[in-house]
Amino acid sequence: MSKYELAVVVNAQIDDEARAAVVDRVKELIERFEGTVTDVDDWGKKKLAYEIQKMNEGFYYFIKFDAEGDKIHEIENRMRIMDNVIRYLCVKQEEA
């Protein structure tokens, strides 16, 4: 298993419960594809570098997890169609 970090920008116009539900769905998605979530870092509301879908702000979450490399593509495919996820980026962590 390799270590990955998933950066997720969530719609800032939804309420706290809906935002928490989005993060929970992302964690469930990782676990469904045999990944193990190790840490969730909530950076809060930040201004976006440029307007996305007529929005200027988003909530940033960084989710660290362990998973097999062949499962990442499936996780990204599911992230692409999730409601209230503005942007996401999954990167492999360097082995130290």
> Are the beta carbons of 19 and 82 closer than 8 angstroms?
no
Total-model pTM = 0.88
- The pair of structure tokens assigned to 93 is 């962590």
Domains of the chain, earliest start first: 2-67+82-88 (3.30.70.60)
Q: In whole angstroms, give the CA distance from residue 62 to residue 5.
A: 7
91 beta partners: 5
Under the banding of pLDDT at 50, 70 and 90, the label for residue 96 is low
Region 77-87: what's the mean pLDDT?
91
Residue 95 reports pLDDT greater than 70: yes
Distance of CA 23 to the CA centre of its chain: 7
Beta-strand relationship, 36-52 and 85-92: unpaired
Within 33-86, where are the H helices?
72-80
